[in-house]
Amino acid sequence: MLIETAGYEFGSEREALAARMGRPARLIDTTMLYAPRSGGVKRYLTAKRAWFGANRPRVRNVLITPGPKDAYDGHGKVSIYAAPLPFGDGYRWPLSKTAWMDRIIRQRPTLIEAGDVYTPGLAALKARDRLGVPAIGFCHTDLGALAALHIGEWAEKPVRKHWATIYREFDQVLAPSHFIAGRLAEAGVENPIALPLGVDVNTFNPSPADPAGLRRELGLTAKHRLLVFAGRPAREKRLDVLVEAVEQLGDPYVLLFVGAGTGAPPSDRAISLPYQRDPAGLARVLASCDAFVHANDAEPFGLIVLEAMACGLPVVGVATGGVSESVDNSVGQLAPVSTPEAMAEAIEALFERGAAEVGRAARRRAVERHAWDAVFGRLSRIYAEVSGHPGFLYETERALAH
């Protein structure tokens, strides 16, 4: 007999075993994509821990990440010492798969989710094999595309082959967009599930907006049109395209980088603010600008785009990659390609249409389609299907299943 729940099936025998055990499900998240200044992956994991804590009393979520020392905070966060990456913006590279595997095993997981295919991801697979519990791989990054960008086109094919080989070992693979799910499928990964991420629409909202105050801080006036990008100073973000676009536009456009300024070429039309560790502080900056701009044409998803939309900002992006799945002309403007000329034209077109009204539509879409509740509700059903543990479901869902 199979029990079906929201499109997923799991064997009643496995579920009965979990129920007889009478213990909470133990969900282990592990990744090296977690640093003091990291963005989307960290916010996904933080939001998930909070949501499961509030909505799934029979789930214990433990997060294992690299850190400056071995530590446990007493609230489900474990750090394992790893050396910092040179020029790695706070990221650390763990070396020992065996040591990492041992720490995962020590947590007695019901289900493991790995957010990369580096040491934590490989250790998750080793722990899965040792314990006989399922492991999910969440693919946040297209390593083949990054290899082509940072090493050369020749590196894309072998790196993608290795990337796909590891993901094929997981019991289920998730991706933050249909774009990345498609790349996985093309590389031979079976049945990747696209699970677009969400946004905290209460923290990220238009109410903290203080455009006059932010402009005073930046030495600007009310006449300036303030474009903003927030994120890592990484080459794939194509910050040079944004700078060249705003230079082509000229007055009254000004570009604000939040956390990314060190990766951008200098310009009289660009201003930098430091990384905003506090989400409320980031929301205040975003809500005080006129439009969000994003030039990466191969972005896996772009959680910051949803955060900007939730703050009431229209988004100018590129019509390829994960950003194009969140943005269309009703909530922003898409350039056909990631060039300064195309981005400048898209920015001008947005303001000719009326950026403020488009921003209000962006806020509505963020609330209606991208609140975390729907995302994590679907994720918990996937967890129930993969693990067979009923603790991942609502009480009403478990009752219906029976």
Output the average pLDDT for the chain: 89
Compute, in degrees rounded to 10, the torsion defined by CA atoms 84, 262, 204, 208.
130
Mean pLDDT of 255-262: 90
- Quickly list DSSP for 302-362: -HHHHHHHHTT--EEEESSSTHHHH--TTTEEEESSSSHHHHHHHHHHHHHH-HHHHHHHH
Phi, psi of 275 (to 5 degrees): -55, 135
Asked if residue 145 has pLDDT above 90, the reply is: no
Report CA dihedral (274, 30, 390, 130) to the nearest 10 degrees.
180
Q: Tens digit of pLDDT for each residue in 58-85?
A: 999 999 999 999 999 888 999 999 999 8
Rounded to the nearest 10 degrees, the angle between the axes of helix 355-370 and helix 340-353 is: 100
Write down the pLDDT at residue 395.
53
The pLDDT-based confidence of 1 (bands split at 50, 70, 90) is very low
Is-contact 29 45, C-beta < 8 A? yes
- Of 174 and 20, the one with more pLDDT: 174
> Quick one: tokens of 288?
């005080």
Sheet holding 59-67, edge to edge: 71-72, 77-81, 59-67, 25-30, 111-114, 135-138, 172-175, 193-194
pTM of structure:
0.84
Q: What is the pLDDT of residues 112-121, one digit of tens each?
A: 999 999 999 9
| Mean pLDDT in residue range 164-177 | 96
- Answer yes or no: is pLDDT of 227 > 50: yes
> Dihedrals φ, ψ of 295, to 5°?
-100, 0
The predicted structure's pLDDT at residue 382: 97
Q: Given a cut of 90, is residue 12 above it in pLDDT? A: no
Q: Which pLDDT does position 154 carry in this prediction? A: 82
With contact defined as beta carbons under 8 Å apart, do 52 and 59 qualify?
yes
Most distant pair of Cα atoms in the chain: their distance: 68
**Residue closest to 195 by CA, chosen among 372, 319, 3:** 372
**Domains along the chain with CATH numbers:** 2-198+371-401 (3.40.50.2000), 211-370 (3.40.50.2000)
Predicted local distance difference test score (pLDDT) of residue 74: 85
Per DSSP bridges, beta strands 83-84 and 92-93 are antiparallel
82, with CB counted inside 10 A (0-12, 13-18, 19+), is buried
Q: What was the pLDDT predicted at 11?
A: 42
H/E stretch holding 146: helix 143-150
Which positions ≥6 away from 375 have C-beta within 8 Å?
Answer: 195, 196, 197, 198
In this model, does residue 136 exceed pLDDT 50?
Answer: yes
Query: Which burial class, exposed, middle or buried, applies to 87 when counting CB atoms under 10 A from its CB (0-12, 13-18, 19+)?
Result: exposed
List C-alpha distances in Å: 233 to 40, 87, 244, 316.
14, 11, 16, 19
| Range list of H helices, 22-142 | 40-55, 97-106, 119-131
Peptide bond into 300 cis (omega under 30): no
pLDDT per residue as tens digits for the range 364-383: 999 999 999 999 999 999 99
The residues with which 67 forms a beta bridge, in sequence order, are 81
SS3 227: strand
- Mean pLDDT on 97-126: 96
